[in-house]
Amino acid sequence: MLGHRLGRRLFVLDFILKTVAFGHCRIPLPKFAALAATPLLLSGCATPLSTLNPAGPAAANIALLWWVMFWGAVVLFGVVLTLLTLSFVRPDWISAIKPRQWIIGGGLVLPVPILIALLVTALILGESLLPRQNGAAPMRVQAHASQWQWQFSYPGTDLLSEDLHLPAGEPVDIVVTASDVIHAFWVPRLGGKIDAIPGHTNIIRLQADEPGIYRGICAEYCGEGHERMGFVVEAHAPDAFSAIIGAGQ
């Protein structure tokens, strides 16, 4: 019995300290650590289409929800990994747990509070993304999709543009429509995405905290020219934005 337990412990120790096996491929621990850290390192990259590099309140809520779900998954993974390790290191502890205790503890006690916390967080953050009326109505910009371009128009002006202009620091309601097939309007660093449906109007509220350039894309496959259906969002200081709008009147 002692030899059997010792063998299990040595197996786990060898697994952790030397290598991690994937099929017939064995990867040294330093390389495995680098591979394991890669997703976390990539998550910090400030890419133009990164949802984890928010530049507005709506995008910040989405990023926060992502991190809450990520760390919740990490906790669950850690619990499962701990139980797996104990099954090798302390098999008598694991075998002492009755099947009913596994079902109640692992099936109810453990996941239910985590799922409830995730659900409440998603509802609270999701509600804050809805374009509600609080005080004066935000400016509205029309975003019209067609194969394969976006066209933006601004209230009270004749200005039409293929790129979207916004005033920095102010909420703007984007009224999204389409003329042919279903498209999807998405500026990852400023907010979520919303469908552009022929004959239907959808509204999404965006706000850029600071002046700058942000990338937007069509997030719904809409035909052979879909890959070209990107656009630029330029957030201007209030005076610069007023000048652009005034030029189109």
Tens of pLDDT, residue by residue over 155-182, are 888 899 999 999 999 999 999 999 999 9
pLDDT above 90 (res 211): yes
Residue 26, strand partner residues: 21
DSSP letters, the chain, are -HHHHHHHHHHHHHHHHTEEEETTEEEEHHHHHHHHHHHHHHHT---TT-TTS--SHHHHHHHHHHHHHHHHHHHHHHHHHHHHHHHHH-HHHHHTS-HHHHHHIIIIITHHHHHHHHHHHHHHHHHHTS----SSPPEEEEEEEETTEEEEE-TTS--EESSEEEETTS-EEEEEEESSS-EEEE-TTT--EEEE-BT--EEEEE--SSSEEEEEEE-S--STTGGG-EEEEEEE-HHHHHHHHHHT-
Tens of pLDDT, residue by residue over 118-130, are 888 888 887 777 6
Give me the mean pLDDT over the 230-236 stretch.
Answer: 95
Question: What are the C-alpha distances in Å from 249 to residues 26, 110, 122, 152, 161?
Answer: 67, 61, 42, 15, 14
* Separation between Cα atoms, residue 205 and residue 58, nearest integer Å: 8
Confidence category of residue 15, pLDDT binned at 50, 70, 90: very low
pLDDT at 204: 93
Give me the mean pLDDT over the 224-241 stretch.
Answer: 92
Confidence category of residue 20, pLDDT binned at 50, 70, 90: very low
Report the chain's mean pLDDT, rounded to a whole number. 81
Share of residues in the chain with pLDDT > 70 (%): 78
Confidence category of residue 11, pLDDT binned at 50, 70, 90: very low
User: What is the CATH superfamily name and number for domain 139-247?
Assistant: Cupredoxins -  blue copper proteins (2.60.40.420)
- Please tell me the pTM assigned to this model: 0.72
Crossing angle of helices 57-89 and 2-17, rounded to 10°: 150
pLDDT at 24: 40
